[in-house]
Structure 1
Amino acid sequence: MSEIAGQARVVIIGGGVVGVSALYHLAKAGWTDCVLLEKNELTAGSTWHAAGNVPTFSSSWSIMNMQRYSAELYRGLAAMVDYPMNYHVTGSIRLGHSKERLQEFQRVAGMGRYQGMDLDILSPEEIKSRYPFAEIHDLTGALYDPNDGDIDPAQLTQALAKGARDLGAKIYRFCPAAGVRRENDEWVISTPKGEIRCEYVVNAAGYYAREVGKWFGRDVPMMVMSHQYMLFDEVPEVAAWTAETGNKLPLMRDVDSSYYLRQEKNGFNLGPYERNCKAHWITPDDPMPEDFSFQLYPDDLERLEWYINDACERVPLLGTAGLTKNINGPIPYTPDGNPLIGPMPGVPNAFEACVFTFGICQGGGAGKVLAEWIIEGETEWDMWSCDPRRFTSFCDQDYCVAKGMEVYGHEYGMHFPHHAWPAGRNKKLSPVHDRVAELRAQFGAYNGWERANWFARPGDDVSEEATQIWSREGAWFEAVREECLAVRDAAGILDLPGFSRFRVEGTGARDWLSTLITGVVPKPGRIGLGYFADAQGRIVTEMSIMAMSEDFFFLITAATAQWHDYEWLLKHLPDGLNIKIEDVTEQFSCHILTGPKSREILSGITDADLGKPWLTHQSAQVAGIWCQLIRVSFAGELGWEIHSKVEDTPAVFDAVMAAGKPHGLKPFGMFALNSLRLEKSYRAWKGDLSTDYTVLQGGLDRFVKWDKPEFVGKQALEVERQQGVSKRFVTLVIEAGDCDAPYMSTLWDGSEVVGETTSGGWGHRIDKSIALGMVRHDLTAPGTKLEVEIFGERFAATVQADQPLWDPSNERLRG
């Protein structure tokens, strides 16, 4: 007889804080027939040696939500499940050394206040009043978070485990999963104590997640870093201060020097993120061990010498303390440092909740999100920042190691809008990459594809350091302006490799697509935007639908959406339909040719009918080579997308460039395209278009065909239409200073928060700062005066009419 239950609804592989939190949240939602398998004792992986810090800080809206939820959950968890925990809410001070760092703090403080957190900016003198042992002579200020602190990771995990067990869920310790197989639409998990059949399975195996992933045919994009922190002996002055005040010192992070310093009892805990970092288990000489439970790496203090000295200069008392213990343990990293939470790409009823670099502070929220994914098929917050499908096939192990080390070494790095991180580049190259590079392109990576962000002029500063600013003062600003004005006055060409493309063909394909999108499926020879909603009417994605014939389509979507959108289509394809869906992304490339002279440029090198109207497409010869010409332009000018087979793209590019030379054709990049699309109020995926907003909130009413019998989300949208939207998409013109509004900048009406920006930038054709955003429904009338908070300072913002700022009647676009 089997020693464990032979059947469960969900099996979770991995007993760290994240796996146990997922079990707890599933059980709390009523899914009590769930099982967790742990090969050793709970917490045996990264959880047991975690420092246990619980920050809410993040520049990501969704991750801040997740960490805020965790902190709120932990504060009441002990009483909720009747399990004592050591949770010290000490507050934290995050030190700033520069103007740019304070700007980052101001932005995050604004986001935090919007989420109900009382974040504050401290002057150097105020730092001293809260942390009397710190040297402040070289600081510009700090971010203060009153809800930060530290928790005992083992106690937290056991509390979640008790809560899950009390609700009826089961945990099997010392019961390793040994493999999986798919049988009769179920997962069968093998263990030394017997097999378990289940409907859903979750990979929550921490730094072993890649090994577990192999059972599913999945190469989990991750690597493992060595992270050290040091414990120091008691310091009499700290003990005396704590006795006098009754408090622990706030957790201090010197983010520019890259370490945290925390009071541990009456001593210190110092944890650096060093640039000269070390990866583990990446070579045949250093293979991943079969079991590393409750184990550590050997001490490697030489790597930390600079950080120890710097911390001692910041807090001289640290230099008087004796080092008592060093912890050097494995921590997993994805290529961007965010965890994997959500559907396992390409695998039915399998999910990932793994590769957590900050599993303690994110564990509570991660459990909530994972439970929502499994139970509802969707999450309360848009969680693209953590979705496993954001990494596609280019993420091989070399890439994961390079990016993981880069992220670790810049753990507290600022993510400036015009800065491109250099590691792991050139994974996917356009067929004309060499030609574009010769034109002095400065590249950025988009789902691994190298695209020109902007084109440097002679004398422009293209150093990495020159892009590490929040303002418009970089060399790219004037270069991008020239690119935009060339598109306005003559023509521009943008090499755009990596569009995600899906070929959809078969009897009933049109009717099937009609059930998925809110609007109308275009007729043959036409192209149109299709908006895909979820059951709540929220925006899942946007695809261009190019109708080749009655039941034959190409769907074109964002490069980064490749796996996400492909899976959405497959998930909604009913059994029995003779419809084939094929990902043909790698077979084609694209150029955007746009501007008032684009017709003249094309006329000499193509047999196409260039009089065909906007939103049409045609097969044609360009320089004697087959292309698909699509009469659209994301830049908002007369123009075409020129789609060609990859092998033919260089000849097409050369022909267009040669034909365009007499007409002033100029290459332009993604930064210019962003500016141009803002002036047309065109939305961008996972900024302006996300599941944080419904189709109606997004101002996409004209793309909803209400008289269709059915489409996904129709019922929810009909209810919303009857009740009225709570907030609405608007375009704003801002009287900004030297910085444009970043994503999730707070919008104010007097003393009241009334909305947020979803994207922003400078419009070079109209010479104004623009933001797209969501505002409370009663404040969306054109001319309404609001304020937008940009890095802590408020600027006047005016709601614009519901039409583009540039070419409002689309005369140029349709010309």
Structure 2
Amino acid sequence: MAELPGQARVVIIGGGAVGVSSLYHLAKARWTDCVLLEKNELTSGSTWHAAGNVPTFSSSWSLMNMQRYSAELYRGLAEEVGYPMNYHVTGSIRLAHGKERVREFQRAKGMGRYQGMEIDIIGPDEIRSRYPFIETHELEGALYDPNDGDIDPAQLTQALAKGARDMGATIVRFCPVTAVRRERGEWVVTTEKGEIRCEKVVNAAGYRAAEVGRLFGRDVPMMVMSHQYILFDEIPELKAWSEGAGRKLPLLRDVDTSYYLRQEKYGMNLGPYEKNCRAHWATPSDEMPDDFSFQLFPDDLERLEWYLNDAVARVPILGTAGLSKVINGPIPYAPDGNPLIGPMPGVPDAFEACVFTFGIAQAGGAGKVLAEWVTEGATEWDMWSCDPRRFTSFAADRDYAVAKGMEVYGHEYAIHFPRHAWPAGRGRKLSPIHDRIAALGAQFGAYNGWERANWYAHEGDDTSEAATQTFDREGPWFARIREECHAVRDAAGILDLPGFSRFRVQGEGARDWLSSLITGAVPKPGRIGLAYFADDKGRIQTEMSVMALAEDFFFLITAAVAEQHDFEWLQNHLPADAEISIQNVTDAFSCQILTGPASRAILQEVTQADLTQPWLTHQSAQIGERWCQLVRVSFAGELGWEIHTKVEDTATIFDAVWQAGQKHGLKPFGMFALDSLRLEKGYRAWKAELSTDYTVLQGGLERFVRWDKPDFIGKTALLNEKQAGVTRRFAVLTLDAPGPCDAPYMSTLWHDGQIVGETLSGGYGHRVDKSIALGMLRSELAVPGQAIEIEIFGERFAATVHGDGPLWDPQNLRLKN
């Protein structure tokens, strides 16, 4: 058994499949002076009882990338490291009971094709030919993935461990971590076997990640579910077929019913995700024991009875088999069901690779991503979907985490519709005028916990959850969004927008420091401007609005969900000797957007401010007797102002503006209308168009680059890209004859039978009366008038490119009025 060294470059805490994969990938990156600490034996947490399925399917582009990488890695791992593994690539059949499920599969097929995978849609006859024991009643079709399969989790972990050790990494088992401390810029990790110093540390503790997180003062947003699967005895008919065919059955998933069914030797393995699920260790009276290694919960088969009966009706030979064993073990869940991979929020040189619901399928890709974070400070793929900083403090609340985890588990296979929101854990952060806008008909969505109006219903509109479960653009909301957009176009609209992230930056040298971080110019006092932050490769890290109050005094405003990401970006780039302070003042302020041609007339009735000040200016003002900051910008692309207020003054100011606006046709509008309005202007959105998958130049943002500045982060990379030629460019497209659905994220763009790009946002523009997509396209095709096809749920639609400029008011005359 390996001894505990006194020093390492990286220490990983946790020896499941993800932790060991992280060690293996760090060693592959030639960071071999790394140590993994496991409190018991390798695989003793969730890994040892995992079913070991290895799907590539996902409705998330980044998760599909990660799972695809895992499957590719596993196919050659045994030979690479010299360790035998049972890895069965059987393919899988994912059943569809209705048209919306088929649409989801068509979208996944398109994404998979783009990533080089041979995913296909098959009909009932082909389902039976591939799976002869199935009954095909009530089926519309299925998704067939030839690369799906299953692997032995313990063998996988040991193979990765052998590979890591062979490259020089160290694994110390039976070595619980009891404390950590920061000392002289290093981490000191205390264990029962002594102390080890390291530059960086990784929490890969699986379902014990919250316990390890507390050692760092970090509240990990997670909970633990009880997940059961049932093993069945040998089935003679299955044995005869399998021996004759020389292979196993494909893995079957009935996702609309919510279970998988897999051949296990000549028996079967049934794993439901039941709605009547159970959380474990979820209350103070039910705390996690000190050690649960290689242990299971008691059987609880009553929860699974309905799912078992449905599976028997679908595959009748299952009903002839005796029950062999029930596995009921802990698996962790984050509030959105995705893992945590990346920097540990608020903790220097610390990372997370934990809370994996599908840890075996994702372990290979997770190790790659984690190693990139540690060794390069950035990842190849934009991995915001898994970034720990996507959650802020409210998400770590125990009740919230448990409610959301149970909800996600019970809907593990559910379709994610664009207008649908799950109801658990809502109402965490409310605007001061929440009740007022609710009374106006607001239908809410959560944005970093903040409740914002998505759209405003009228009496008689169907506002049920069921009504939102469609990919069609037209639902009860469609006519209302149109009315809201037209009110903004013709009169004025007001949008309550709580939760903007905002940071106060001030101190000697703040202007020069900001200039070194952003690609463009820092605005002068009294002005506001968009600023783009690139990484060393010229990729888009984030966008912030920079409001200059004085020469070295700024407010930086960014998206609600970007709060932790952007605040840490600023902190991490602040020189140690700088006399500059950065304060997160997000909770102190709120915002309302007033926009439309009548907005000036409305404000004239409630303020003495100078409303003739031009676009991209700001001023302190009074509305009534309350202070506000009037900012002359509009994400809607009309004459307008953002009205920034202290939280306690928000209601008073809203009431004054609302009352004054009634004779001018003022209407409330929501986030769905705002998205429609910004699409018509070609405005980019956080983690859609603005992501590290694209450079600043690819994003069509060169007008925000000041090449004459002495230096800024990413300048060299962008200069090199400009000289070599930008290969892909942002483009605005419209569908020539749209179908019932707008283009979802990562729809494939085609030209002359070849894939030439992807969409990043899609929706309907009610001012221009067109279905719009914002996309990334091969440069030579990103020109006005170019004909393109957009694949939307398996069908290709003719579309036209409009360059990278606005469809609505291309000269910005209405904005500058």
Give TM-score scaled by structure 1 length: 0.99
User: Hey, what's the Cα distance between the residues in 2 that align with 1:226 and 1:400?
Assistant: 15
SS at match of 1:178: strand
Q: Which runs of 5+ in 2 are unaligned?
A: none
Does the CA-based 8 Å contact 2:502-2:556 persist in structure 1?
Answer: yes
Q: Distance in 2 between matches of 1:533 and 1:417?
A: 29
CA-to-aligned-CA distance 1:253-304 (integer Å, 9 cap, x gap): 0000000000000110000000000000012321110000000000000000
Q: Is the 8 A contact 2:261 2:271 kept in 1?
A: yes
* 8 Å contact kept, 1:632–1:641: yes
State how far apart, in whole Å, the 1-side matches of 2:554 and 2:338 are: 35
Q: What is the one-letter code of the residue matched to 1:100?
A: E
Q: Which residue of 1 aligns with 2:9?
A: 9
Mapping of residues 179-578 of structure 1, within 5 Å: 179-395=179-395, 396-578=397-579
Map of 1:814 onto structure 2: 816
What SS does the corresponding residue of 1:812 show, helix, strand or coil?
coil
Matched residues in 1 for 2:389 and 2:631: separation? Answer: 28
Residue 626 of structure 2 is matched in structure 1 by 625
1:9-28 matched pairs, under 5 angstroms: 9-28=9-28
On the 8 A contact 2:3/2:172 being kept in 1, the answer is no
Question: Match of 1:6, as an amino acid?
Answer: G
- State the alpha-carbon separation in 1 of the partners of residues 630 and 22 from structure 2: 49
1:681-723 deviations in Å (ceiling 9; x for gaps): 0000000100000000000000000010110000000000000
1:150-205 CA-to-partner distances (Å, cap 9, x unmatched) read 00000000000000000000000111111111111110111111110000000000
Q: Does 2:761 correspond to 1:759?
A: yes
Cross-structure match for 2:706: 705
**In 1: Cα distance, 2:794 partner to 2:36 partner:** 45
CA distance in 1, matches of 2:444, 2:805: 32
> Displacement of 1:124 after TM fit?
1.0
Q: For residues 541 and 471 of structure 2, what CA distance do their matches in structure 1 show?
A: 30
Classify 1:444/1:250 alpha carbon distance in 2 versus 1 (closer, same or farther; 3 Å).
same
Cα offset, 1:221, TM superposition: 0.3
Identity rate of aligned residues, in percent?
76
Question: 1:745 and 2:747 equivalent?
Answer: yes
Instruction: Give me the CA root mean square deviation.
Output: 0.7
Q: Distance in 1 between matches of 2:35 and 2:421?
A: 43
Deviation of residue 420 (structure 1)? 1.2
SS at match of 2:95: strand
Q: 1:129 to 1:564 in 2, by over 3 A?
A: same
1:443-467 per-residue CA deviation (whole Å, 9 max, x = no partner) reads 0000000000000011110000000
Match of 1:691 in 2: 692
Q: State the distance in 1 between where 2:710 and 2:795 align.
A: 49
Work out which of the residue numbers 768, 771, 781 in structure 2 matches 1:769. Answer: 771
Cα-to-partner distance string for 1:118-153 (whole Å, 9 max, x where unaligned): 000011111111011111121000000000000000
Asked if the contact 1:699/1:729 (under 8 Å) is kept, the reply is: yes
Distance 2:123 2:284 in 1: 51
| Whole-angstrom CA distance in 1 between matches of 2:437 and 2:68 | 44
| Secondary structure of 2:22's aligned partner | helix
**What is the one-letter code of the residue matched to 1:176?**
P
Please give the secondary structure, in 1, of the residue aligned with 2:621.
strand
Whole-angstrom distance in 1 between the partners of 2:207 and 2:811: 55
Q: Counterpart of 2:177 in 1: which secondary structure?
A: coil
Residue 397 (structure 1) shift = 1.1
Q: What stretches of structure 1 move > 3 A for 4+ residues in a row?
A: none
> 1:792 & 1:806 partners in 2: Cα distance?
29
C-alpha distance in structure 2 between counterparts of 1:114 and 1:288, whole Å: 43
Distance 1:609 1:141 in 2: 63
Could you tell me whether the CA contact under 8 Å between 1:606 and 1:624 is conserved in 2?
no
- What per-residue deviation string (whole Å, max 9, x for no partner) do you get for residues 713-771 of structure 1? 00000000000111000000113201000000000002100000000000000110000
Q: What is the distance in 2 between the residues matched to 1:709 and 1:736?
A: 47
C-alpha contact (below 8 Å) 2:11/2:36 kept by paired residues: yes
Distance across 2 between alignment mates of 1:563 and 1:85 = 41
Q: 1:803 Cα deviation (Å)? A: 2.0
Listed one character per residue, the Cα deviations across residues 394-437 of structure 1 (whole Å, up to 9, x for unaligned) are 11111100000000000001110001110000000001001011
What letter corresponds to residue 769 of structure 1 in structure 2? S
The 2-side partners of 1:585 and 1:731 are apart by 33
Are the equivalent residues in 2 in contact too, given 1:238–1:267 (CA < 8 A)? yes
Secondary structure class of the residue paired with 2:20: helix
1:453 and 1:685 map into 2 onto residues whose CA distance is: 17
1:48 paired with 2:56, answer no
Q: State how 1:628-639 maps to structure 2 within 5 Å.
A: 628-639=629-640
- Indicate whether 1:725 and 2:726 are aligned: yes
> Contact 1:187–1:200 (CA<8 Å) still a contact in 2?
yes
Deviations 1:615-661 (A, max 9, x none): 00000011221100000000000000000000000000000100000
Count, aligned residues: 814
SS for the counterpart of 2:348 is coil
Whole-angstrom CA distance in 1 between matches of 2:680 and 2:219: 41
8 Å CA contact 1:3–1:194 kept in 2: the answer is no
Structure 1 counterpart of 2:33: 33
- In structure 1, list runs of 5 or more residues that go unmatched: none
CA contact (8 A) 1:519 1:531 kept: yes
- Taking the aligned partners of 2:515 and 2:473, their CA distance within structure 1 comes to 43
> Is residue 120 from structure 1 mapped to residue 105 from structure 2 by the alignment?
no
**Is the contact made by 1:638 and 1:812 (CA closer than 8 Å) also made in structure 2?**
yes
Give the secondary structure class of the aligned counterpart of 1:813: coil
Distance in structure 2 (CA, Å) of the matches to 1:783 and 1:3: 67
Report the residue type matching 1:808 in the other structure.
P
Give the Cα separation in 2 of the matches to 1:382 and 1:775.
Answer: 18
CA distance in 2, matches of 1:238, 1:776: 50
**Cα distance in 2, alignment partners of residues 671 and 776 from structure 1:** 29
Counterpart of 2:41, as a letter, is E
SS of match in other structure, 1:716:
helix
- Equivalents in 1 of 2:533, 2:616: separation in Å? 19
Q: State the alpha-carbon separation in 1 of the partners of residues 804 and 435 from structure 2.
A: 42
| Matched letter for residue 520 of structure 2 | G
2:670 corresponds in structure 1 to 669
CA distance in 2, matches of 1:338, 1:316: 34
Q: What residue is the counterpart of 1:145 in the other structure?
A: 145
1:110 aligns with 110
Corresponding residue for 1:93? 93
How far apart, in 2, do the equivalents of 1:569 and 1:430 lie? Answer: 27
CA distance in 1 between partners of 2:80 and 2:403 (Å): 43
Alpha-carbon distance in structure 2 between the residues aligned to 1:605 and 1:624: 10
Give the Cα separation in 2 of the matches to 1:583 and 1:774: 33
Within the candidate set 777, 785, 790, 1:788 is matched to 790
Q: What SS does the aligned partner of 1:262 have? A: strand
Partner Cα distance (1:93, 1:630) in 2: 54
Deviations 1:17-72 (A, max 9, x none): 00000000000110000000001110000000000000001111111000000000
Contact 2:700 2:804 in 1 (8 A): no
Which AA in structure 2 matches 1:108?
A
Deviation at 1:3, TM superposition (A): 4.5
CA distance in 2: counterparts of 1:287 and 1:346, whole angstroms: 26
Shift of 1:231: 0.3
The 2-side partners of 1:440 and 1:768 are apart by 26
AA partner of residue 442 (structure 1): Q
SS at match of 1:814: coil
